Structure 1
Amino acid sequence: MDASLRISEIFYSLQGESNTVGLPTVFIRLTGCPLRCNYCDTAYAFTGGEKRSLQQILDQVKTYSTSYITVTGGEPLAQPACIDLLLNLLDAGYQVSLETSGALDVSKVDSRVVKVMDLKTPSSQEMQRNLYGNIQYLTAQDQVKFVIANEEDYQWSKQQLSEHDLSGRCQVLFSPVMDVMPAKDLADKILQDQLPVRFQIQLHKYLWNDARGK
């Protein structure tokens, strides 16, 4: 456990997205990200943070009474020791999910980790960073997420859904960009087209707006 990571924050909140939405969860937000998505809401995690050992991280996680841990960013896989952190959390008995941009290789992520992986839509302005080879490493427990801001994003997401048979491989999440794509509009589109996806909103933003540590 000699590895260390630069950490932006560790906090306890309700899971706001994914298929565990609403469950009390410890979030470990790693510092740094090679992407600059147009709709990013965690730009404060691009730089700064505090260097902490794996043991220090695990000790803080133990102070919260939950078995659910989400490792997020930034882009957590930008720090190689993220793989060690995930392994140590799993071995400690936690149910671990990883929120990743989909732009970095996920092949070394332990198969017990629930991967929540973005495919970047056109409005993100980072679509060219999608590493489509990652799709082969997604399983039924994993989730692929599309963050949708407009009609172009929606149509592109539908195309990826079909082209890669995503709903046959893993769970698929369609999420509106808050204050840009009206949630009802996206929900109506999904129902009209009878898509095999899970509609989601960012619960934490409805509860606490953009407050950090929530």
Structure 2
Amino acid sequence: MSTETTLCVSEIFHSIQGESSFAGWPCAFVRLAGCGHGCRYCDTAYAEEAGTAMTVEQIVRRALAFEAPCVEVTGGEPLLQPGAFELLSTLCDHHPAVLLETGGFLPVERVDPRVHAIIDIKAPSSGVAAENCATNFALALDTPERFEFKIVVASREDYEWAKSYIAGHDLPGKCSIIFGPVFGHLEPRLLAEWILRDRLPVRMQLQLHKYIWNPDARGV
């Protein structure tokens, strides 16, 4: 590793992966700074702060030092920083399980194909549903093993919208889709009942880290 590309980093930490199909695994997280999309239920607003400048080499060394089974680059919105693509590729050169969690506002075609991309689809209650990047769906249908989509719902209206949205983009049965409740806004039991009633082919998740630690804690 010799690259001098610099990124703004909010935090690097070791925790239990709380979301996605990798939930429950120990994971090294690299949270990049910056977003600006203004999602109403954002739980990492502190990542909007400037962060600390670090080279790709420094970031990779810090992340690999945890010796975790998986490494995730997240945000904020990590793909806002051009150096994120180099960071992801460099991590893939040194680790077999590299994850990207992105807000779903930006296209992911430049992301190294070795990366497993977890892409948010924003529901109406987020206030930014109009910004979902639909080009990511076509890419995912071509290589579904590389992608999964996550929708966080805060209400029955969000759920009905999400059900129609994924059907309209031909995702059910072809891509991994995960529904989860907005923590503190929707009772998990209700979401589970809706999914079961509709025989919806999606996976349900809870934000595991928020049940283990304080929901507002950083670095978890």
Query: Deviation digits for residues 94-135 of structure 1, max 9, x if unmatched?
Result: 311110011111110111111100111000000111111111
List alignment gaps of at least 5 residues for structure 1.
Answer: none
Q: 2:145 aligns with which of 140, 144, 149?
A: 140
Q: Is the 8 A contact 2:99 2:116 kept in 1?
A: yes
Equivalent residue, structure 2, for 1:200 = 205
Query: Deviation digits for residues 113-159 of structure 1, max 9, x if unmatched?
Result: 11100111000000111111111122233110111000110001000
Q: Is the 8 A contact 1:161 1:167 kept in 2?
A: yes
> Which segment is superposed worse, 104-113 or 196-205?
104-113
1:163-202 map, 5 Å: 163-202=168-207
Equivalent residue, structure 2, for 1:110 = 112
* Seq. identity, %: 45
Q: Which secondary structure does the structure 2 equivalent of 1:27 belong to? A: strand
Q: Which secondary structure does the structure 1 equivalent of 2:57 belong to? A: helix
List alignment gaps of at least 5 residues for structure 2.
Answer: none
1:29 paired with 2:31, answer yes
How large is the RMSD of aligned CA atoms in angstroms?
1.0
1:54-133 map, 5 Å: 54-133=56-135
Q: Under a length normalisation based on structure 2, what TM-score does the superposition of the two structures give? A: 0.95
What amino acid is aligned across from residue 197 of structure 1 in structure 2?
Answer: V
Query: Deviation digits for residues 13-35 of structure 1, max 9, x if unmatched?
Result: 00000011110000000000031
State the alpha-carbon separation in 1 of the partners of residues 113 and 81 from structure 2: 19
State the alpha-carbon separation in 2 of the partners of residues 99 and 198 from structure 1: 17
State the alpha-carbon separation in 1 of the partners of residues 28 and 172 from structure 2: 28
Q: Which secondary structure does the structure 1 equivalent of 2:65 belong to? A: coil
Q: Is the 8 A contact 1:28 1:71 kept in 2?
A: yes
Q: Is the 8 A contact 1:173 1:199 kept in 2?
A: yes
Q: Under a length normalisation based on structure 1, what TM-score does the superposition of the two structures give? A: 0.97
Equivalent residue, structure 2, for 1:211 = 217
Query: Once superposed, which parts of structure 1, at least 4 consecutive aligned residues long, lie more than 4 Å away?
Result: none
State the alpha-carbon separation in 1 of the partners of residues 135 and 166 from structure 2: 15
1:38 paired with 2:43, answer no
Q: Which secondary structure does the structure 2 equivalent of 1:152 belong to? A: helix
State the alpha-carbon separation in 2 of the partners of residues 94 and 18 from structure 1: 17
What amino acid is aligned across from residue 89 of structure 1 in structure 2?
Answer: L
